[in-house]
Homo-oligomer: A and B are copies of this chain.
Amino acid sequence: MTNKDSSTEEIIKEAARNVFQRQGFSGARMQEIADEAGINKMMLHYYFRSKQQLFDVIFQEDYSNLMAPLAVILRNPELHVEQQIIRFVRGYHETMVEHPRLPLFLIHEFAKNPHKVLEMAQKAIPVSKSEEPAHPQLSATTFMDQIDEGIEKGHYNEIDARQLAVSMLGMCTHAFISRISVQTAYEMSDEQYMKFLEERKEQVIDHTFRILMKPDYYVKWKKKYQKEKENTST
């Protein structure tokens, strides 16, 4: 039981993560993973039995550690939608800046094998302790319900909450999924792109709220938000 992070198992997983994220399941070669880990190919099978099992472990881990926590934000009934959006978008960008290939990887494998991934997703998002087992997903107001509420109050535009959700997700993912085309089209260096992503975090929040909120409510919100930011940063 040596240092956990430098154990062979962890080294393999890290190498496999890289290769699978670059090449996808079918594009990845066991030999390539072994090379990247600097070990014998046998080791992969010794620790993870088969390519499929190694892949499943990686995918499961990535999904549970990185995506599931974000999904949970949008189901937290304690949190106001506006806070849900802010935390989701920030969380998404902060996570994906560290793992830029993850969105495309997850989406691609998802599309190739929806059935399997859906099972996995259910496992990965455990029913939170405060929720009654009888009402697994609907315990309180959700993202959608809160938006409808805001519409009734006259704060929000009369939009389909699902359309907003898809737009928000799309704005989040696209900067990572299409990085190369964006970077090429606008002739950005890697540093410039990182800066672009850093700015984008707040931009996506702004875009989402411009879509969601009626203009006067948006202005009010923005003032309040700017003050909060100043307080937090000092």
> Which residues of A pack against B, CB within 8 Å?
22-27, 101, 104, 107-108, 110-112, 114, 118, 157, 159-160, 162-164, 166-167, 169-175, 177-178, 180-182, 184, 186, 196, 199-200, 203-204, 207, 210-211, 215
Contacts and interface: CB of A to CB of B under 8 A. Distances in A.
B170 A174 contact: yes
A223 to B, nearest CB: 16
Contacts of A164: 207
Nearest to A184: B118
Contacts of A118: 184
A-B CB proximity, top 4 nearest: A170-B174, A215-B215, A170-B170, A26-B27
A160 B27 CA distance: 37
A108 B104 contact: yes
B171 A167 contact: yes
B171 A166 contact: yes
A200 B111 contact: no
Given A104-B107, A107-B104, A160-B199, A112 B174 contact: no
The number of times this chain is found in the oligomer is 2
A110 B142 CA distance: 37
Nearest to A172: B170
B162 A167 contact: no
Contacts of A175: 166, 170
Given A27-B112, A111-B180, A211-B207, A162 B186 contact: yes
A29 to B, nearest CB: 10
A108 B110 CA distance: 13
Contacts of A215: 215
Contacts of A107: 104, 177-178
Question: Which interface residue of A159, A169, A184, A204 has the most chain B CB atoms within 10 A?
Answer: A169
Contacts of A101: 111
Contacts of A157: 210
A112 B211 contact: no
10 contacts: A22-B112, A25-B27, A27-B112, A107-B178, A110-B181, A160-B203, A162-B196, A166-B175, A167-B204, A211-B211
